Structure 1
């Protein structure tokens, strides 16, 4: 549409004497038509940018003329000319279109002819005349419209504009044609399929053309450019979008992707983000100056396309030392043409590896944050033929600066998260254990979706007499504080477990510990120091589980035949609340059963309620009741699908075992010292039956000392039990509650050496208390090795 049709039609002489100009809101001339130059003798370069009052012959008038009137204008060749004028305010703009004609020819017909002649001869205002069918009769004054070829009479807007834009403009023209009401300053977008990637925004005014009888003859449309204002608004929109869009994630790669997508297609055709390798792992980027291997990797592309042979994750080749590179490393944005960049690279292979095809302009903005260069943001122009402007450079620099802070925040989080995960993993036990009581496998998955590490843990603690303690817990809160609290609680549970209290007593003592921990932290976060915990003790001799809960869900139990065993418990409050007891529930569990302890994140969250989550977990366990535990755990997590993004997930699987009946021997004796010899005799015969004669001597000594002390200090009845598995367990039970103490007897003391002797003859020993007494137990290795050495 850059070429105009010369055909105007009858009556064109009426517009010959009209002159036009465009004034801004301060009365400064911003457009000056050829007719105005011919009338006054001043061309556009002499007038544009000057106040219109400088042209007034009498020097009168304010900054902006009134809407209509007559004034005298100075002529360059001397003298003045009086003109009648009218000013038309352009919609959504402070600018005004001024149409004037000398008073001596201001008749209606002459004015019309002058107006047409002036409008068709100037370039500041685009003029397009449409016939009744909206076919083009004339198009002129729009050299920047896409296409470039002359517009033949009878063409339609669809012939050179994209259908969407053509339909929008024709709809507005048709409304003017049908209603007769003028359109003033409507903003229109113009894009052409002949110039992909380019678009122009123009303000359109339109009036209906009528014959002498008032019948519609067509529509005249007048265009002024709005691209500058539109570009400013687009830049503000991009800044606003960058502020909203970039930085919502704490994942480095995802943040880089958000940054790349922000600048395409608003500024360029291709957006790429490269980051230092150290940034991707959360470390500080190295401080580099000059060329060489900068250890950069391609991380994000706005369109999924990559320049040259570079692909996502690839390391960038070494770059030559160059002043432009050093400028970039000092934190300044650089802009280069194709020839300039080829001259910098020099090496043809490097150019092929790094550059896309058919590009013409490249802008590289450094991602500079907190004194470190994290990488760079590349903006390439391929289809858009316009070079980068100063405004484009300033905008990309601002967006890159904001993006760099977001990426650095994600990098710092990655470092802290990695440290917290490493700390938590170091505090967790071995993933699998294998004891006479059970086989266990624990799985832990940190919170996803950018959440901080939590305080979930699991544990399988071997207890005396072949029993096994199973634990899962969850400390409230996030970050290193929760992880450290978890480590302290786990250490406390190990210490308390060695004292062998029942699960309810252990949780009571742990509750007091959490309250003390809460008192140590600042007051503003003190109420968040709580924890949930499930503590289970499984005895392979009786095949019973003792269960107590502090705010945790009960375990899920699947029998060997694949059926579910319902477990009902009465959970107490979370640890740290205080003042409430923890009820102990005892249930029998078949050998070979699968017990699953888990934290709430495994079954609650997202769109799942508790019952649905537990059902899915149970069904998944039932389907794999006999598969290896590690495989079962991974499959269960897979079956449960997408887990809550902000929750750690912990699962402890246990497959129970039972001590065979012929591996257990027990006796009860009255409180009489004469039974000591009988007890020695019974254990000697039992050890012989088990083929453990080599342990008879030491076991007789141990039993003699323990039974003698029980009769002498606690009374009867006295229970004696031997358990044979991977160790030989000897237990002596009495009704007393006194704490046995190991001490060093003096050379003249008659007693006090019994427990010392027991400690020397066994690998370990201890005492646990029940509701009606205590049990002293010992363990000896079955291979007959020296306990002090083995």
Structure 2
């Protein structure tokens, strides 16, 4: 048994010797005081030790000597943790540099596990493996994974360039710069192939590990050109990346760009990579990576990684550039489709502001439409969606609304007709969708339409899914104006409710889109009014509008924007302000006439006297003809009571109302017809004319310009159909 036991102990010792002599990784045996008891051949070669068995000096070494070049304190902490807790520590990564090559970074995977001898004495086995190459490959893959996650998050070319620089620094380079060609950055078309080496580039991003937040030698956003021939110009010229190792400051190409060369040598750059940003065979700019802090130079694997990063960054920048170009086109289209500055109106003073959103124009719009009888129509709305399609739909819908508005339709009836037009547009949009695509929302657009009458001083409004206007009185106090919102336009078969309110002169109406209320309003500390909920933002709007009547509306628009949108909003925002005016009573003359043909002469005399009082005698001849025709038609085809009204506005408006619902239509009378020339005559004498249908009857109106000179029978061209 003794011999058997002795043989077993000899076999165990032989196995232990074989393990320590043949294991491919460095093995160390430490006692409970962390003194080195034994190490194998691999550990000996790594540490340049002397023997695989303990020599006289081995027993005094500490655990810190296990991995030359690694942090001794970190290794000792891990070892004591494993020895005290009895837990295994598997492949903990430690980084350092070899004593023989201080410029070379190394990575080791360290494992500790405790063991106990038959006598109860505790030991610690340590295993160290050089995983520098493996970890470098994993680090590069992780950088690519980070680039995949982060690049493309911004829809701005500059933001995409900054994302690219953030990915590269500090994990790959100590300094990174991104320079973009100026023409594509400004939205101009790109040209396939390499770029002109002398083309100006704009500094889009600069990152450095030792100067966080520094703008770099070239200020952010400034233009610069690279000297030629240099690695930069060569990369632009042929679209291939360059790796420069061992930069000493005496290279020939540095003299071609001495200012940049001095900056490189002054920063201590010893290694650099220049990679073109290419997307779809088009060079968009350059990515330059530098090392000046870490001693290890760039290697071929780093160049391959930089090329891949540049490729992904270029795609992200190109997508942002394409989006910016499309957004610019859509915004330009949107602005062109919005109304121009309106002419001076007697009914209201207006001011407006349109702010495109960060994600692109969303089809928000407004309109100011002069109507008959010195009235004005105010409209505001928002199209579902963004981009060029939304802007085009906005133009179609706004044209339809203006066409309906000039027919003097009531707000509720106008929205019913506009809803029918929107439903047609919605069906067309659904028909153009590819198979399997998501359908359009139920509502194509929202719209709020108001008509203000400066004579009656009333405002009538109807809403198709749009917020009610904000109304403040001449003294700045908020006034109620509840408009019941109906369904959005495009649902079809909808009815809308109207709300009418009387307004004093000097009231301010604020029409807005949801984008104005979707931003972050200023906090209570900033303006004294807490921001947050839409209702609270509406209160902010009321507070800003509570200004004296002398305040310019354009200034009020700016104040509203400052208060409600302290930062760029995501969606479109439109604000339309209108301050009401009242037409003085002395500018309006009204007569009620009996249904007798003999009253036509009386109507002409009344009009002549009123024109004389207004000092508009030059319009007497044309006005006599218009009054005669309108009153005669009302007596012949209408129903009493008949009312004649003259309005001295920016033009002279003549209106004749009766209680019949039938509407006249202009036609070209034949030479054999005895009648049918009345409206034709009016159309030649008046600048504008039309029919307005009311709740009780109709009104035929005609408007003359005050600047026109009075005509005589010989000066009025009535066409071939007129026979005296």
Instruction: Using structure 1 for the length normalisation, give the TM-score.
Output: 0.77
2:348 and 2:581 in contact (8 A); partners too: yes
Shift, 1:634, TM fit: 1.6
User: Which residue of structure 2 lines up, in the alignment, with residue 518 of structure 1?
Assistant: 426
Alignment of 1:215-614 (within 5 A): 223-287=128-192, 289=194, 292-303=197-208, 309-321=217-229, 325-327=233-235, 329-337=237-245, 338-339=247-248, 342-347=251-256, 349-352=258-261, 355=264, 357-431=267-341, 433-448=343-358, 451-523=359-431, 524=437, 527-528=440-441, 530-604=444-518, 608-614=532-538
Alignment of 1:130-141 (within 5 A): none
Q: Secondary structure at the match of 1:695?
A: helix
2:197 and 2:234 in contact (8 A); partners too: no
Q: Secondary structure at the match of 1:271?
A: strand
User: Which residue of structure 2 lines up, in the alignment, with residue 204 of structure 1?
Assistant: 110
2:478 and 2:542 in contact (8 A); partners too: yes
2:668 paired residue among 733, 744, 748: 744
Shift, 1:715, TM fit: 2.9
CA distance in 1, matches of 2:197, 2:89: 61
CA distance in 2, matches of 1:555, 1:117: 86
CA distance in 2, matches of 1:672, 1:197: 112
Question: Can you give the 5+ residue segments of structure 1 that lack an aligned partner in the other structure?
Answer: 1-66, 72-82, 101-111, 147-156, 158-165
Residue deviations 1:692-745, cap 9 Å, x none? 222222212211111111111113211011111211111111122222222333
Shift, 1:690, TM fit: 1.6
Q: How many residues align?
A: 668
Shift, 1:676, TM fit: 1.1
CA distance in 2, matches of 1:756, 1:255: 64
Shift, 1:225, TM fit: 2.8
Q: Secondary structure at the match of 1:302?
A: strand
Tell me: CA distance 1:86–1:120, structure 2 relative to 1, closer, same or farther (3 Å): closer
Q: Secondary structure at the match of 2:576?
A: strand
User: Which residue of structure 2 lines up, in the alignment, with residue 62 of structure 1?
Assistant: none
1:122 counterpart = 2:32: no
CA distance in 2, matches of 1:577, 1:590: 36
CA distance in 2, matches of 1:381, 1:728: 80
1:439 and 1:655 in contact (8 A); partners too: yes
1:711 counterpart = 2:598: no
Q: Secondary structure at the match of 1:737?
A: coil
CA distance in 1, matches of 2:236, 2:682: 76
Residue deviations 1:630-650, cap 9 Å, x none? 111121011013578442111
User: Which residue of structure 1 lines up, in the alignment, with residue 5 of structure 2?
Assistant: none
CA distance in 2, matches of 1:144, 1:553: 70
CA distance in 1, matches of 2:259, 2:699: 79
Q: Secondary structure at the match of 2:368?
A: strand
Shift, 1:207, TM fit: 7.7
Shift, 1:755, TM fit: 1.9
Tell me: CA distance 1:348–1:647, structure 2 relative to 1, closer, same or farther (3 Å): closer
Shift, 1:321, TM fit: 3.7
Shift, 1:688, TM fit: 1.4
1:120 and 1:140 in contact (8 A); partners too: no
2:622 and 2:710 in contact (8 A); partners too: no
Shift, 1:349, TM fit: 3.4
The range that moved more, 466-475 or 112-121, is 112-121
CA distance in 2, matches of 1:637, 1:197: 57
Q: Secondary structure at the match of 1:522?
A: helix
Shift, 1:272, TM fit: 0.9
Shift, 1:532, TM fit: 0.5
Residue deviations 1:174-194, cap 9 Å, x none? 3355467775643334589xx
Shift, 1:612, TM fit: 1.8
1:659 counterpart = 2:583: yes
Tell me: CA distance 1:318–1:383, structure 2 relative to 1, closer, same or farther (3 Å): closer
Shift, 1:517, TM fit: 1.1
Shift, 1:237, TM fit: 1.4
Residue deviations 1:136-163, cap 9 Å, x none? 75865756558xxxxxxxxxx4xxxxxx
Residue deviations 1:396-454, cap 9 Å, x none? 11121111111111111111111000000000012565311111112111121xx2321
Residue deviations 1:27-46, cap 9 Å, x none? xxxxxxxxxxxxxxxxxxxx
Residue deviations 1:445-472, cap 9 Å, x none? 1121xx2321110110111111110000
1:365 and 1:378 in contact (8 A); partners too: yes
1:433 and 1:460 in contact (8 A); partners too: no
Shift, 1:284, TM fit: 3.2
1:309 and 1:352 in contact (8 A); partners too: no
CA distance in 2, matches of 1:533, 1:411: 33
Question: Can you give the 5+ residue segments of structure 2 that lack an aligned partner in the other structure?
Answer: 1-10, 30-34, 432-436, 521-530, 717-724
CA distance in 2, matches of 1:196, 1:621: 70
CA distance in 1, matches of 2:600, 2:21: 122
CA distance in 1, matches of 2:250, 2:475: 72
1:310 and 1:354 in contact (8 A); partners too: no
1:469 and 1:536 in contact (8 A); partners too: yes
User: Which residue of structure 2 lines up, in the alignment, with residue 39 of structure 1?
Assistant: none
